[in-house]
């Protein structure tokens, strides 16, 4: 799938993305396949871009994989959840099983309810969104200790808040400008009326922090590997600085495409967004895919296949 990965990287970001990734520590090929043939073929079917280190060199320093799906596009309605939730979890689950370490995911419903204006009015909807994502997480056969945390949970929110406050003096607001913008030069939320995103971003960053992960998992950890897409490279790099000497590695995936194949799915127009409920029928029975491009169909067929394989537990089992 390397050619398809490069195709979408070029389509979404252009050639200039590669030197930019290096500035955030993403400068190594994703991995050298040293595992058995079946595992090599399964991982090769996924969409890894590059990383801070080769996967083959991580086994002694990594004790948890973090892969959290994006949910903000759902607008408190589970039916709007994009199929990217499955793509995000599949990549994290595959590496979690390969390394035989727990997978941890965060569902950012607390940010939506507590920080977005009038978010509390839609709390019930966001709770249903969290339940839908949890239902996907629970289909996966994962190493012992894997957890999916919802940030609206009182205990989880308190743990995140403690780290957010502790980091506030070390993380100036200006460092958050343009956190999720890579190629368009935007410094959002600077200059916009959406100032609440500064706090939203601080809570997102806390999900990569050593104190949060160790507290929620209840034990010391030697290090963390984030398996998330290109849009997260700035955020993970900031967390790496805050974590100091504690290994904070990042294996980068390509963002999932929308129906037209020329835009990231979570930012595509509504008619071009493939939802989490549409994906199984589209991939398994070929329904609703008449307007798909060849590359788009190939991407989602591979994601569906890997999801099915991981749900059956056919990736290498934990030690």
Count H helices and E strands in the chain, helices first.
Answer: 12, 6
pLDDT at 297: 86
Residue 157 lies in a domain: yes
Residue 103 to residues 96, 172, 190, 229, 256, Cα–Cα distance (Å): 6, 30, 34, 16, 20
* DSSP label of 33: -
Is 307 domain-assigned? yes
Residue 140 forms part of a structural domain: yes
The rounded distance, in Å, linking the Cα atoms of 194 and 306 is: 38
**Residue 284 pLDDT:** 58
Cut 0.75: pTM above it: yes
Q: According to the model, what pLDDT value does residue 100 have?
A: 93
Q: Are strands 103-107 and 224-229 parallel, antiparallel or unpaired?
A: unpaired
CA distance to 27, 33, 149, per residue, from 57 (Å): 14, 11, 28
Model pLDDT, residue 168 = 98
d(CA 90, CA 81): 16
Beta bridge partners of 149: 106
Beta strands 248-253 and 48-51 are antiparallel
CA triplet 131, 260, 112: central angle to 5 degrees?
30
- Dihedral over Cα of 249, 59, 91, 109: its sign: negative
Q: How much is the pLDDT for 60? A: 80
How distant is the alpha carbon of residue 118 from its chain centre? 26
3-state secondary structure (DSSP) of residue 194:
coil
Kindly report the CA angle at 192 between 189 and 198, in degrees rounded to 5? 30
**Whose CA is closest to 227, among 254, 259, 246?**
254
Q: What is the DSSP letter of 3?
A: H
The pLDDT tens digits for 139-181 are 999 999 999 999 999 999 999 999 999 999 999 999 999 999 9
DSSP 47-74: -EEEESS-GGG-TTT--EEE-----GGG
Q: Domain range for residue 291? A: 2-312
Please tell me whether the peptide bond between 189 and the residue prior to it is cis, using omega within 30 degrees of 0: yes
User: How many Å separate Cα 81 from the centre of its chain?
Assistant: 14
Q: Which regions in the chain score pLDDT beneath 70? A: 1, 31-42, 56, 260-262, 268-271, 281-292, 314-319
Is residue 22 within 8 Å of 208, Cβ to Cβ?
Answer: no
Number of structural domains (the chain) is 1
The reply to whether 318 falls in a domain is no
188 falls within a domain = yes
306 inside domain: yes
Task: Give the CATH number for residue 222.
Answer: 3.40.50.620
Cβ density class 243-254: b for 16+ within 10 Å, e for less: beebbbbbbbbb
- Assigned domain for 60 exists: yes
70 falls within a domain? yes
Closest-CA residue to 48 (of 301, 254, 294, 276): 254
Task: Identify the CA nearest to 233 among candidates 53, 10, 25, 92.
Answer: 25
């Amino acid at each position: 799938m390397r050619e398809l990965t490069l195709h979408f990287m070029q389509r979404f970001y252009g050639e200039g993305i590669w030197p930019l990734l290096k500035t955030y520590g993403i400068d190594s090929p994703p991995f050298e396949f040293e595992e058995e043939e079946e595992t090599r073929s399964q991982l090769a079917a996924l969409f890894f871009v590059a990383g801070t280190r080769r996967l083959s060199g991580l086994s002694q320093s990594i004790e948890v994989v973090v892969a959290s799906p994006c949910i903000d596009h759902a607008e408190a309605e589970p039916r709007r959840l994009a199929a990217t939730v499955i793509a995000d979890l599949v990549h994290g689950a595959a590496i979690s099983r390969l390394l035989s370490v727990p997978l941890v995911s965060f569902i950012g419903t607390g940010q939506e309810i507590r920080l977005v204006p009038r978010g509390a009015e839609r709390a019930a909807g966001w709770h249903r969104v969290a339940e839908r994502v949890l239902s996907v997480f629970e289909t996966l056969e994962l190493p012992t200790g894997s957890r999916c945390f919802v940030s609206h949970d009182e205990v989880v929110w308190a743990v995140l808040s403690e780290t957010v406050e502790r980091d506030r003096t070390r993380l100036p607001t200006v460092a958050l400008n343009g956190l999720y913008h890579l190629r368009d030069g935007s410094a959002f939320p600077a200059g916009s009326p959406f100032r609440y995103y500064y706090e939203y971003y601080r809570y997102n960053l806390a999900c990569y922090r050593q104190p949060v992960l160790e507290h929620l998992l209840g034990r010391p950890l030697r290090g963390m590997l984030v398996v998330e897409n290109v849009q997260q490279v700035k955020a993970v790099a900031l967390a790496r600085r805050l974590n100091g000497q504690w290994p904070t590695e990042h294996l980068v995936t390509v963002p999932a495409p929308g129906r037209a194949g020329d835009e990231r799915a979570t930012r595509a127009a509504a008619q071009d967004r493939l939802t989490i409920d549409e994906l199984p029928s589209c991939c398994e029975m070929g329904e609703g895919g008449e307007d798909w491009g060849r590359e788009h169909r190939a991407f989602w067929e591979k994601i569906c296949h890997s999801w099915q394989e991981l749900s059956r537990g056919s990736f290498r089992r934990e030690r």
